[in-house]
Amino acid sequence: FLVEEGGKNEREVACFIKAPATALENLKCKIVNDISSLVVDDSEELVSNVISIECSDYEKTIPFPINIAIPFTSCFRGNYREIMVKVTDVNFQSNYLTPISLEGYQGNHKETFAEVKIYQLGVFSVLSCLKQETFTVPKVGISQKLSVDSRISFYYPPETFSSPAPMQLKVQPIEPSLVSTLKARHDMYHSVVSTSALVYVQHPSAQPFNSSVTITLPCPPNPEKKRQGDETEHVRATVKRVATAYHPRPKLTSSNLTVSKINGVFTILCRKKNNLNLPFDFCPSSSATMGNSRFRNAYWDFLVGISLGQESSLNFVVIRFSFFLENTYLLLFAQALEEAVCSTMANVILYRKRENPYKIVVLLSASKELTCKLQNLHEGGYFGPPEPTQQFPLREGEQIHFRFRGNIFALENGKDFGKVYRLIFHSQRKPRLELQIKEVDEFGNHSSPHYKGTAVFYKITREMITKKWEQPFPYSEYQHQSPLCKLALTLPKHEKLINRPRSTKRISSDSSEALWDNLLYWLAEELAEDNTSLLALCLPVRRSILQLVRLKCPDNLTHQIYELLCCWKKTLPKSANKQQLLSRYLRKSGRSDLSEELHFKWQNKVFT
């Protein structure tokens, strides 16, 4: 097997290769996660490292086939997804391989591995993809239920094709919460009640359709309303086959495509060709008729006959709405729905180490996992401020680039000062960077008790990423792009040690400073025993000093109060009567007992 350096003095298993020893000597493997944006498409989720396997000696011949096992971690999502291995060549042409095994052991290593037999070298990645269902339609017709969801079925009448023809289908489920989110953001979608799953149909054969195909799929009622009993109503609509030629941009048909029933209105929206750049449109038909109602499995089913015509690919969805919705808004909803299905709401987290505020961690987290991620960071000793950003949508493989501005910059592994950093979003991966931050100018921010800076984040879509195996950072493009979000940073200022000549060193004969330190620490201990709040001390200090004290000593109230008292004492002129002022603030805070004891200790020079 091959082992790859992880970049932090750690060795990581990249993959296992089963091949003759002479072939293994000529193979070179490395982890290339920086190009992971180039190996994923919509509806795909990366669940492993991206690895590159090359032959170090091009004069040698590799005895294909050889077996390769790649470790991965995946959260399976029901029957709709499957694990596939994607191999990409130097020209970015990809093939999908079905694993021959998903064993948990490779030698002495216990993990989940996707093992495949390969016939070429290239870039390999393990993906969670929508499960593809393939079946052959015979000349006599067929009624086929999908294994991913038995509620979805296709009926091909006899003589649909002149000879047996293959069909390929994928189903993308749509969570009811996704529909609710779109309705909450846009009032114009208020009448939408629910939707069916998105169905992707591929017709690889060039044979024309001789008759309509009836598709049965569930379109549930309003999920926000309680069901009354187990009975549900089925609506049947038959859409006649259209013998017209294919138009790349089909015209909108009239609203008679909707099928009305007492419990809702249905519309079928389709997209010809499997191309996200083409919009959804109404399913073309000359008429739509309603069949009889019936009950089945407590699901609303919408039975429609859809003419696929001469199309090799068709995507469609059924939408139920409570009252009529304008065609323009309906098409916008379908497009927004498909974009939302391919996106995940995410947040950027930038936390610092509690014991070392100069050490930070930056990571992307899915919004639904934010609470768990924050808890894990707290257990690791990382806390805010700043707080996580507002949520924003990210597609699989999109990138977040960020840089630091102001009087704070970052460095990674003790080098690369001031560079641009990158996080690549994958919903089942954990993009994370650990950095060191430092002030640019130690004499800057002179009017503030801490150094100030800003982390600026930019969103880079997959369309903006050039298809090159070497992925440089587009420094110049940021000048014309609005930031996605910003996070403010602060660093505590440290006392500057000035080396003076012996002749200029000041020697203080007044020992009261050391005594004052003992007195203030005693007072801090007394106040901490009663859980006294910093704000309750009524000291005339700025709020920024309170924040700095909390940041410096987050877990020790005694140290917080002591630091606050020291900061307050430093602001006083030498001629000020510190004991008298401090006694006044203690009485104002309701601690007359400590005020009297402070006066006694000061008069008798008792500071312990």
Strand partners, 116: 68
Q: What are the start-end ranges of the H helices in 343-417?
A: 370-379
pLDDT (0 to 100) of residue 288: 30
Tens-digit pLDDT profile for residues 561-579? 888 888 888 888 877 888 8
pLDDT (0 to 100) of residue 142: 93
pLDDT (0 to 100) of residue 568: 83
pLDDT (0 to 100) of residue 300: 41
Contact call for residues 549 and 560 (beta carbons, < 8 A): yes
Indicate the CATH number of 346-466+475-492 among 3.40.50.620, 2.60.40.2660, 2.40.160.10, 3.40.1380.10.
2.60.40.2660
Question: Domain coordinates of the chain in residue numbers?
Answer: 2-130, 133-341, 346-466+475-492, 511-604
Contact call for residues 29 and 4 (beta carbons, < 8 A): yes
3-state DSSP assignment of residue 547: helix
Residue with tokens 């323009």: 328
Do β-strands 301-306 and 235-239 pair in parallel, antiparallel, or remain unpaired?
parallel
pLDDT band at 37 (very low <50, low <70, confident <90, very high): very high
Contact call for residues 434 and 359 (beta carbons, < 8 A): yes
Query: Which positions ≥6 away from 53 have C-beta within 8 Å?
Result: 15, 17, 27, 28, 29, 68, 121, 122, 124
Tens-digit pLDDT profile for residues 57-93? 877 788 889 999 999 998 766 789 999 999 999 888 9
pLDDT band at 140 (very low <50, low <70, confident <90, very high): very high
Contact call for residues 205 and 308 (beta carbons, < 8 A): no
pLDDT (0 to 100) of residue 251: 29
pLDDT (0 to 100) of residue 312: 61
Which pair of structure tokens corresponds to residue 318? 């059924």
Instruction: With a cut of 90, say whether residue 417 has pLDDT above it.
Output: no
pLDDT (0 to 100) of residue 62: 87
Residue with tokens 């030629």: 245
Selection from 161-165, 233-237, 444-448 with the highest mean pLDDT: 161-165
* CA 374 – CA 351 distance, rounded (Å): 9
Q: DSSP string of 104-155?
A: SEETTEES-EEEEEESS-EEEEEEEEEPPEEEEE-TT-EEEE-SS-TT-EEE
Which pair of structure tokens corresponds to residue 59? 């004069």
pLDDT (0 to 100) of residue 272: 58
For the segment 25-35, the average pLDDT, to the nearest whole number, is 89
* CA 380 – CA 353 distance, rounded (Å): 8
pLDDT (0 to 100) of residue 262: 32
CB count in 10 Å sphere of residue 591: 21
Maximum CA extent, the chain: 111
Query: Which positions ≥6 away from 446 have C-beta within 8 Å?
Result: none
3-state DSSP assignment of residue 587: helix
Contact call for residues 33 and 49 (beta carbons, < 8 A): yes
pLDDT band at 260 (very low <50, low <70, confident <90, very high): very low
Q: Establish whether domains 133-341 and 511-604 are of one fold.
A: no
Instruction: With a cut of 50, say whether residue 285 has pLDDT above it.
Output: no
Top CATH class, 133-341: mainly beta
Tell whether pTM > 0.95. no
Question: What is the amino acid identity at position 329?
Answer: Y
Instruction: With a cut of 80, say whether residue 471 has pLDDT above it.
Output: no
Tens-digit pLDDT profile for residues 351-361? 999 888 899 99
Let me know if domain 511-604 sits in CATH 1.10.533.10.
Answer: yes
* CA 310 – CA 205 distance, rounded (Å): 10
Tens-digit pLDDT profile for residues 532-565? 676 556 777 777 788 788 887 777 888 888 888 8
Strand partners, 353: 382
pLDDT band at 241 (very low <50, low <70, confident <90, very high): very low
Selection from 299-303, 496-500, 599-603 with the highest mean pLDDT: 599-603
Let me know if domain 2-130 sits in CATH 2.60.220.
Answer: yes
pLDDT band at 423 (very low <50, low <70, confident <90, very high): very high
For the segment 163-182, the average pLDDT, to the nearest whole number, is 91
Which pair of structure tokens corresponds to residue 32? 């290339």
pLDDT (0 to 100) of residue 379: 92
- Between 509 and 317, whose confidence is greater? 317
